[in-house]
């Protein structure tokens, strides 16, 4: 099997993790050995499961740093998946490239932009080196149009540009917005 890198990206609530789980289930049906990793800081639903906002789940190994992933991958694993990859540092680029070069199918899911609408972590660079990129859209919570942005809310008010980039949460802190309705006050 030829190695490859696939990136599933988009705003929060766009179905990235559901699509990742769908691909993993298909690989499992095809009797491919699958291993899934996620950042340890993402414990919103379950520390050892990749869980979508819609409730889909797949067993995963929590990892603190990207460089630990290769040491956890079994020799006979053909599909390696990484969810919430925006939380890893730039070393994830080398990790993914090396695994694909070894002949593995690497599937990465993560946010392409942060709550400010700026490129988020390593995802844009992973998109640049991937064989396949799928950018998914959510539904704007204001107008119902396709949403490409993630709006962070603090007490139902848009977060300020000076607020921290990484705050792990779900619908209690975030909603999907279109370009027109995405707000980041200075």
Q: How many helices (H) and strands (E) does the chain have?
A: 4, 13
Distances (CA, A) of 7 to 94, 105, 151, 164, 174: 15, 11, 22, 25, 22
Contact 66, 92 (CB under 8 A): yes
| Set 48, 84, 90, 102: catalytic member | 84
Q: Answer yes or no: 19 catalytic.
A: no
The tokens describing 130, both together, are 């991937």
Q: Which backbone phi and psi does 82 adopt, to 5 degrees?
A: -135, 120
Nearest to 10 by CA among 133, 106, 107: 133
Nearest to 15 by CA among 108, 136, 125: 136
Contact 45, 139 (CB under 8 A): no
- The H or E element spanning position 22 is helix 16-29
Torsion sign over Cα 179, 119, 4, 31 = negative
Active site residues: 84
């Amino acid at each position: 099997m030829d190695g490859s890198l696939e990136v599933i990206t988009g705003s929060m609530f766009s179905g990235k993790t559901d699509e990742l789980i769908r691909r993993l289930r298909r690989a499992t049906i095809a009797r491919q050995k699958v291993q899934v990793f996620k950042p340890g800081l993402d414990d919103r639903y379950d520390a050892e499961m990749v869980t979508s906002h819609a409730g889909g789940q797949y067993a995963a190994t929590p990892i603190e740093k990207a460089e630990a992933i290769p040491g956890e991958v079994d020799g006979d694993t053909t599909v390696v998946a990484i969810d919430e990859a925006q939380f890893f540092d730039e070393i994830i680029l080398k990790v993914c490239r090396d695994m694909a070069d070894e002949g593995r199918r690497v599937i990465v899911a993560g946010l392409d932009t942060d709550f400010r609408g700026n490129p988020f972590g390593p995802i844009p660079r992973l998109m640049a080196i991937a064989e396949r990129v799928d950018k998914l859209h959510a539904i704007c919570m204001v107008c119902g149009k396709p949403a490409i942005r993630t709006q962070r809310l603090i007490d139902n008010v848009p977060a300020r540009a000076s607020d921290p980039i990484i705050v792990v949460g779900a619908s209690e802190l975030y909603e999907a917005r279109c370009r027109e309705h995405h707000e980041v006050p200075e």
